Amino acid sequence: MEFDTALAEAWVRAIAVAVEKEQGRLTELDSAIGDGDHGSNLRRGFTAVLTALDALAPDSPGAVLTKVGGTLISKVGGASGPLYGKAFRALGAALPGPAGPAAFGEALAEGLRAVQALGKAEPGDKTILDAWAPALAAYREAVAAGADLPRAAGAAADAAEQGALATVPLQARKGRASYLGPRSVGHQDPGATSTALLFRALAEVTAEARG
């Protein structure tokens, strides 16, 4: 199975559904250590993304993901819009055509690099990276062991969820949460949590496409 245009669009639409469903939880997490707007910001962004996709006739997976990135940058406030926007733009640039499991993994790596370059964070800083980095590592390990796209995506989703949970004992060193210092300990990072939603959506749509 390749990651193609139809799968890219299905993935984005699945993310939008997940964000709609989990908006309240994301807001609750962000209210504890941030501005309390992560869920509403992402919901607004992906609502705009769906509108943009409805008006788009993409000819490549990259075209889909590039449009997603640009829309998130223009429509979402706070840190999440630029971070996810840059990530999706990087994914799009790396996917000019359908991609097999290994090539898609390299696109995910470009997305991670974009987040890291903009946010200046490292794994362990209690950010998006704490879910994306282990997801990428698990994805690559699965592909190296011979996994197809759905199985590799499933491994990535599991690792992203574990990574999000692992932010609970961390002290935030980047973003709004870092202002709290030790008081940020004991709370799950909302950005890592929404990243886990992104990877779980990928696992679900690829598994469905495989049948």
pLDDT tens digits, one per residue of 103-114:
999 999 999 999
Q: What is the mean pLDDT of residues 177-188?
A: 81
**Which of left, alpha, beta for 120 (phi over 0: left; psi -120 to 50: alpha)?**
left
Domain 5-210: homologous superfamily in CATH: DhaL domain (1.25.40.340)
CA distance 159 to 134: 6
Confidence of residue 171 (pLDDT cuts 50, 70, 90): confident
CA distance 170 to 43: 26
CA distance 21 to 48: 16
Confidence of residue 181 (pLDDT cuts 50, 70, 90): confident
Say which DSSP state 3 is in: B
Closest CA to 105 of 168, 37, 113, 192: 113
Average pLDDT, the chain: 94
Residue 175 pLDDT greater than 90, yes or no:
no
Please, are residues 41 and 96 in contact by the beta-carbon 8 Å criterion? Answer: no
Please, are residues 175 and 79 in contact by the beta-carbon 8 Å criterion? Answer: yes
Q: In this predicted structure, what is the pLDDT of residue 174? A: 73
Please, are residues 13 and 25 in contact by the beta-carbon 8 Å criterion? Answer: no
Confidence of residue 33 (pLDDT cuts 50, 70, 90): confident
**SS3 call for 187:** coil
Q: In this predicted structure, what is the pLDDT of residue 21? A: 96
What are the pLDDT digits (tens) for 64-101? 999 999 999 998 877 888 999 999 999 999 999 999 99
Q: In this predicted structure, what is the pLDDT of residue 10? A: 97
Confidence of residue 126 (pLDDT cuts 50, 70, 90): very high
Pinpoint the alpha helices (H) of 120-174: 129-144, 149-165
Domain map of the chain by residue range? 5-210
Question: For the chain, what is the radius of gyration of the CA atoms?
Answer: 16
Highest mean pLDDT, choosing among 115-119, 120-124, 177-181, 192-196: 192-196
